[in-house]
Structures are given as structure tokens and as C-alpha cells.
């Protein structure tokens, strides 16, 4: 059915595909939400700071 070099190539393909699959699962479930959440928090902090500075200038 398979010769030895074909078998090694098939195993290499499966290994790379599996690593890619789990990397995508990790990125989608942890890294991207963390990145988006951090960006939103940073945007909220900047808006608070901007409001505080405007309030100080008006006082």
C-alpha cells in the first residue's frame, strides 16, 4: 500500500495539519478575545482621560 518514504510524508503532513488545527483553535479561543478585550479597555481609558482633561480645563 504505502512505501516507507510515502508513509513518512503522510505522517509529516498529518503532524503539520494537526499543529495548524490546534494553533487556530488556540488563537480563536484565547488570543483574539484577549486582544480585542485589551483594545476596548484601552479605548475606554483614553476616553475617560480625555473627559477628565476637558473637565479640568473648564473648571
Per-residue pLDDT tens over the stretch 20-33: 999 999 999 999 99
Answering whether pTM is above 0.75, one says no
**Across 46-57, average pLDDT:** 94
Terminal C-alpha separation, the chain: 84
Per-residue pLDDT tens over the stretch 12-22: 999 999 999 99
Residues in the chain: 59
Amino acid at each position: 500500500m504505502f512505501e516507507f518514504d510515502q508513509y513518512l510524508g503522510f505522517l509529516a503532513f498529518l503532524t503539520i495539519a494537526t499543529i495548524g488545527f490546534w494553533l487556530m483553535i488556540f488563537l480563536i479561543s484565547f488570543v483574539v478575545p484577549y486582544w480585542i478585550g485589551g483594545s476596548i479597555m484601552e479605548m475606554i481609558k483614553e476616553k475617560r482621560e480625555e473627559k477628565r482633561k476637558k473637565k479640568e480645563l473648564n473648571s
